[in-house]
């Protein structure tokens, strides 16, 4: 997202028979890491299927500013990395736009170097807590200067000799885990991260693929201990990024809600740390057929055939939150059309996303006629099968707070509700899913911006 400009409202209207076969753009988490690890590793990394959303492009720009060479030939991104330990001091502030992942992981990656790196972002990113990453980095010897509270902008300066730590991650956050591990790449000795609740494991898997000396042990209670030997060699890789399950969620839920729909979504990442939404929707009665399940480049991948379904409310166990953390907004929309009540608990992390997603979802649902209750860390939604009375006939707009997933979730809602649903801005959808409007229109969705 740019730092200024005029909002672009969008309105979704009741649609019929969403049909077709679509390919979802590459996974955002893997795309960020592909640019980062490719930019750091010695030799050449070739990436196909990369998500070319603004968030990931900003990560690419940051890696270039620190010495990586990044070019595109046809559909393939070709990176020549600096070699581990050999990033250059960026001459200008690194601007991560809207992207928490790009910013927090790069703070770990470069923060331990003995030079200044300056981090900036848009209004949404500048309101998000950075202390969760900076606290362990301080233990490793990183000085944080020129910062108001724990919000951007921030200047980091690493020590002459970073200190390898053992860090127990206090919240379920793959970004925090990853920032510490990436700092460990340029730290002599063994950096250890203890993860009481498993979160997405792309950093561990991909670093192993690039040749890092990284091991994972899981005890009988599911607590994971990740050990990384620092200052080892990383070597360029060939990566084919699978489709993003978090972006898949939007056409998938739209197909479930719009009568007569039958949509196939190709090449979706099915890593078990990312499939909580599919499991939950299946428990609600969703007709989602998992086809051609296969392994590609070390990740589980499948095609999904989704047909319109009558959904029932469920209680979503809090322990499932890490595997569907970005999908609660669109699940809340699905729950608005289900028979009965859906109870979602363990949602504390939703409050520190691109917006306070718990509040943003609750206000949006209320504006569109949904009976819901927002708790401190929970959301309860009482659904209306068929969507009678849902939507906002007067054109009242959902406040999106620069949050792409709030915008896309409520546009999905308008495809099945009796009245249209309007969002106050749709520009930030390009951060994660630039093809969203065209892809949805191709399936038959009525969305105007
Ligand atoms: C991400 C981790 C999650 C997720 C974000 C991507 C990652 O954030 O919400 O969209 O790629 O590591 P947290 O680590 O803050 O839960």
Read off the pLDDT of residues 50-61 as tens digits, 9 standing for 90 and up.
999 999 999 999
Residue 265: partners with Cβ closer than 8 Å, 6 or more residues away: 21, 22, 23, 24, 243, 248, 251, 252, 303, 304, 306
Regarding whether 401 and 349 lie in a shared domain, the answer is yes
Q: Has residue 238 been placed in a domain? A: no
Give the mean model confidence (pLDDT) for residues 164-192. Answer: 98
Tell me if 2 is assigned to some domain: no
Give me the pLDDT at residue 148, please: 83
Selection from 374, 377, 370, 449 nearest residue 413 by Cα: 370
Q: In the sheet that 299-307 helps form, which strands lie side by side, from edge to edge?
A: 19-23, 262-269, 299-307, 287-296
With 60 as the cut, is the pLDDT of residue 1 above it?
no
Written as six digits, the tokens of 121 are: 């972002």
Q: Is residue 297 part of a domain?
A: yes
Q: What is 413-435 written as a DSSP string?
A: HHTTSSS-EEES--GGGGGT-TT
Final residue before a domain boundary, out of 204, 230, 256: 230
Q: Does residue 169 sit in the same domain as residue 194?
A: yes
**Percentage, residues of the chain above pLDDT 90:** 97
Q: How confident is the model at residue 4 (pLDDT cuts 50, 70, 90)?
A: low
Residues 90-147: tens digit of each pLDDT: 999 999 999 999 999 999 999 999 999 999 999 999 999 999 999 999 999 999 987 8
Distance of CA 362 to the CA centre of its chain: 20
64 and 190 together in one domain: yes
Do 286 and 400 belong to one domain? Answer: yes
392 CB near ligand 1 (under 6 Å):
no
Separation of CA 1 and ligand 1 centre (Å):
18
Q: How far is the CA of 420 from the centre of ligand 1 (A)?
A: 31
Which atom of ligand 1 is found nearest the CA of 173?
14
- pLDDT tens digits, one per residue of 265-289: 999 999 999 999 999 999 999 999 9
Where does residue 155 rank: exposed (0-12), middle (13-18), buried (19+ CB within 10 A)?
middle
Does any domain span residue 431?
yes
192 part of a folded domain: yes
371 and 402 fall within a common domain: yes
Number of domains in the chain: 2
**CA-wise closest residue to 267 among 292, 243, 291, 296:** 243
What would the mean pLDDT of 235-257 be, rounded to a whole number? 98
Residue 13 has pLDDT above 70, yes or no: yes
Residues 119 and 260 in one domain: no
CA 152 to CA 102: how far, in whole Å?
A: 13
174 lines ligand 1 (CB under 6 A): yes
Nearest-angstrom CA–CA distance, 99 and 103:
6
What residues are paired with 373 via a beta bridge? 380
Question: What is the mean pLDDT of the segment spanning 295-318?
Answer: 97
Question: Using a 6 Å cutoff on CB, does residue 247 contact ligand 1?
Answer: no
State how far the Cα of 12 lies from the Cα of 10, in Å rounded to an integer. Answer: 7
Confidence of residue 297 (pLDDT cuts 50, 70, 90): confident
Q: Which of 413, 313, 384, 337 is nearest to 10 (CA)?
A: 413
Are both 264 and 393 inside the same structural domain?
Answer: yes
What range does the domain containing 217 cover? 28-230
Q: Is the residue at 405 inside a domain? A: yes
- Give the model's pLDDT for residue 147: 87
pLDDT at 3 over 90: no
Instruction: State which of 230, 261, 284 marks the end of a domain.
Output: 230
Phi, psi (rounded to 5 degrees) for 266: -90, 145
User: Are both 215 and 349 inside the same structural domain?
Assistant: no
Mind listing the pLDDT tens digit for each residue in 23-40?
Answer: 999 999 999 999 999 999
User: Does residue 191 form part of some domain?
Assistant: yes
Mean pLDDT over the full length of the chain: 97
224 lies in the same domain as 275: no
Residues 307-322 pLDDT 10s: 999 999 999 999 999 9
For residue 127, give both structure tokens: 């309101």
């Amino acid at each position: 997202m740019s730092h200024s400009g005029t909002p672009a409202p969008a309105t979704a209207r009741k649609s019929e028979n969403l049909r077709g076969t679509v390919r979802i753009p590459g996974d955002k988490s893997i795309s960020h890491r592909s640019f980062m690890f490719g930019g750091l590793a010695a030799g050449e990394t070739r990436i196909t299927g990369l998500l070319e959303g603004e968030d990931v492009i900003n990560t690419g720009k940051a890696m270039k500013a620190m010495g990586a060479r990044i070019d595109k030939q046809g559909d393939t991104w070709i990176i020549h990395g600096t070699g581990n330990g050999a990033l250059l001091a960026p001459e200008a502030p690194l601007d991560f736009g809207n992207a928490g992942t790009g910013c927090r992981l790069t703070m770990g990656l470069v923060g331990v170097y003995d030079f200044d790196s300056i981090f900036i972002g848009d209004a949404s990113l500048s309101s998000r807590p950075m202390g969760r990453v900076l606290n362990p980095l301080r233990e490793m010897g990183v000085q944080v200067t020129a910062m108001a509270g724990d919000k951007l902008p921030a200047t980091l300066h690493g020590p002459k000799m970073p200190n390898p730590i053992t860090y127990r991650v206090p919240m379920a956050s793959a970004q925090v885990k990853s920032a510490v591990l990436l700092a460990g790449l340029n730290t002599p000795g063994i950096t250890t991260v203890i993860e009481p609740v498993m979160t997405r494991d792309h950093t561990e898997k991909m670093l192993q693929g690039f040749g890092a000396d990284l091991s994972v042990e899981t005890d009988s209670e599911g607590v994971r201990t990740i050990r990384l030997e620092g200052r080892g060699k990383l070597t360029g890789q060939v990566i084919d990024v699978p489709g993003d399950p978090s972006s898949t969620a939007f056409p998938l839920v739209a197909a479930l809600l719009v009568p007569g729909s039958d949509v196939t979504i190709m090449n979706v990442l099915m890593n078990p740390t990312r499939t909580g939404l599919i499991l939950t929707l299946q428990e609600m009665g969703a007709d989602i057929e998992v086809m051609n399940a296969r392994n590609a480049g070390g990740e589980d991948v499948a095609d999904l055939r989704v047909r319109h379904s009558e959904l029932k409310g469920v209680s979503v166990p809090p322990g499932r939150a890490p595997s569907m953390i970005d999908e609660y907004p669109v699940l809340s929309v699905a729950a608005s059309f289900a028979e009965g009540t859906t109870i979602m608990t363990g949602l504390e992390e939703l409050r520190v996303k691109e917006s306070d997603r718990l509040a943003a979802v609750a206000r949006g649902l209320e504006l569109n006629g949904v009976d819901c209750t927002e708790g401190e860390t929970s959301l309860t939604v009482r659904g209306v099968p068929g969507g009678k009375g849902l939507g906002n006939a007067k054109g009242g707009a959902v406040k999106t707070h620069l949050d792409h997933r709030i915008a896309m979730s409520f546009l999905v809602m308008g495809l099945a509700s009796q009245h249209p649903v309007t969002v106050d801005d749709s520009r930030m959808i390009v951060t994660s899913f630039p093809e969203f409007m065209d892809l949805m229109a191709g399936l038959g969705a009525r969305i105007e911006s």
